[in-house]
Amino acid sequence: MLQIQNIRENKESIITALKKRNIDAEPMLSKVLELDEKRRSIQTELDATLAESNKLSKEIGMLFKTGKAQEANALKEKTAGLKETSKTLGDDLNTTADELQQQLYLIPNVPHESVPAGSTEEDNEEIFKEGDIPTLSEGALPHWELAKKYDIIDFELGVKITGAGFPVYKGKGARLQRALISYFLDKNAEAGYTEMQVPLMVNEDSGYGTGQLPDKEGQMYHVQADDLYLIPTAEVPVTNLHRGDLLAESDFPIRYTGYTPCFRREAGSYGAHVRGLNRLHQFDKVEIVRLEHPNNSYQALDDMVEHVKNILRELKLPYRILRLCGGDLGFTSALTFDFEVFSTAQDRWLEISSVSNFETFQANRLKLRYKDENGKSQLAHTLNGSSLALPRVLAGILENYQTDAGIKIPDVLVPYCGFDIID
């Protein structure tokens, strides 16, 4: 959520920056400033009314003490009117403040200056590519056919139990899935991230805190009886660990990692490109989250990108990194780098990680602050990234490591799996 003071002082530059997202922000920003002016005006009037009421209350006390009951009672009638006025003003203030908050929730984050203009994923910038794309033998299969051939993932059984998008992992498929989770968590822990195990459902305040609400409400599973939401990523509960906190500068950096199942409705997702593991309603993901001093957040972002690079190098998967354009940038992000692995059997790139800096956008919603060297409260910066999302990593391994004898296991995963081939 943008800060009102920033909007007030930098309205035109924010309008220009948000054009990268292909939106005209002028009406929204003007509405914010209009509501803020109204809120401040009501607050001023309310403060004056309460001050007058308090002043009269003291005078009434003095009049009663000096035996001037008639004058005191006359003033009491006046204070009754002031109390009614203050109640009306208080209600107006709450209504205006709520309307202002809801308007602020509609405005996306301001893109970083390095974000390219563009409308769709076709306009994203490829900034790095590494790894050799393997040459597969004739008749190489996509992962959903490999899963059936080796009986390691059953998509039809998932449909029977729940519905489409809820696969069942079996035998070596389940063990490979568990191996990837353990490997990712170990790599993150070695890099200084503290492992956290968090709830898989969050309350509404948590959803608003990290920006999934109201922007992604339709994509989240909502348990209406308890007003809880199934998490779309561990970013939500992990970042909310510090909602409302006032940190010291010495607390930075704060680094967390966590494994969770993730749940997304993915409404409207159809077609050949969503077959198999390409897009699911339930999937496993290991996340990294950082809370940083603003002066260090972009160095932290670079460190996170290098960390994900090293994992993919060890897995020996061909990958590339994209800098997302304004039109493809997430609502809460200031700058995002997407990692994609190449699926040789599908002959296409598959997104397996997004690494983002949200600057103060989430922190403002979370009221996540720190005391600076002058003792003043400042907003922290928040970052997160996938390290990694399992379904498409697994798809990439199955397809790129397939041989006539079976599916080889990447060397780094063999100690975790306890086997070196799926046959």
Which CATH number is 67's domain given? 1.10.287.40
Residue pair 308/353 in contact by the 8 Å Cβ criterion: yes
Cα within 13 Å of Cα(2), Cβ side: 28
Same domain, 144 and 199: yes
Binding residues for ATP: 264-266, 351-354
Binding residues: 233, 264-266, 287, 351-354, 384
Same domain, 78 and 133: no
- Domain end position, chosen among 106, 139, 163: 106
Same domain, 232 and 309: yes
Same domain, 86 and 216: no
- For the chain, what is the mean pLDDT? 95
Residue pLDDT, tens place only, 68-118: 777 777 777 788 888 899 999 999 999 999 999 999 999 999 999 999 999
Same domain, 29 and 153: no
Q: Among candidates 152, 210, 59, which has minimal Cα distance to 421?
A: 152
Residue 115 lies in a domain: no
Q: How far is the CA of 383 from the CAs of 84, 315, 325, 355, in angstroms?
A: 47, 24, 18, 8
Same domain, 260 and 288: yes
Residue 111 lies in a domain: no
Which CATH number is 347's domain given? 3.30.930.10
Q: DSSP character for 288?
A: E
**Arithmetic mean of pLDDT, 221-244:** 97
Report pLDDT for 237: 98
pLDDT band at 419, cuts 50/70/90? very high
Same domain, 339 and 378: yes
Residue 116 lies in a domain: no
- Domain end position, chosen among 58, 82, 106: 106
Same domain, 95 and 129: no
Q: Among candidates 31, 26, 1, which has minimal Cα distance to 11?
A: 26
Residue 114 lies in a domain: no
Residue 213 lies in a domain: yes
Give the pair of three-digit tokens for residue 420: 């070196």
Same domain, 210 and 135: yes
Residue pLDDT, tens place only, 14-68: 999 999 999 999 999 999 999 999 999 999 999 999 998 888 888 888 877 787 7
Q: Among candidates 419, 362, 323, which has minimal Cα distance to 116?
A: 323
Rounded CA separation 171/152 (Å): 6
**Least confidently predicted of 1-5, 24-28, 46-50, 274-278:** 274-278
Give the pair of three-digit tokens for residue 157: 């059984």
Residue 293 lies in a domain: yes
**Least confidently predicted of 76-85, 159-168, 248-257:** 76-85
- Domain end position, chosen among 106, 138, 161: 106
pLDDT band at 271, cuts 50/70/90? low
Same domain, 177 and 322: yes
Same domain, 59 and 130: no
Q: Supply the DSSP string of 18-54, one letter for each residue.
A: HGGGT---HHHHHHHHHHHHHHHHHHHHHHHHHHHHH
Residue 178 lies in a domain: yes
Same domain, 88 and 194: no
Report pLDDT for 273: 61
Q: How many domains does the chain have?
A: 2
Residue pLDDT, tens place only, 375-405: 999 999 999 999 999 999 999 999 999 999 9
Residue 127 lies in a domain: yes
Q: Which domain holds residue 349?
A: 121-422
Give the pair of three-digit tokens for residue 149: 């051939």
Binding residues for L-serine: 233, 264, 287, 384
Rounded CA separation 20/323 (Å): 13
Residue pair 410/315 in contact by the 8 Å Cβ criterion: yes
pLDDT band at 268, cuts 50/70/90? low
- Please indicate, yes or no, whether the overall pTM of this predicted structure exceeds 0.85: yes
pLDDT band at 150, cuts 50/70/90? very high
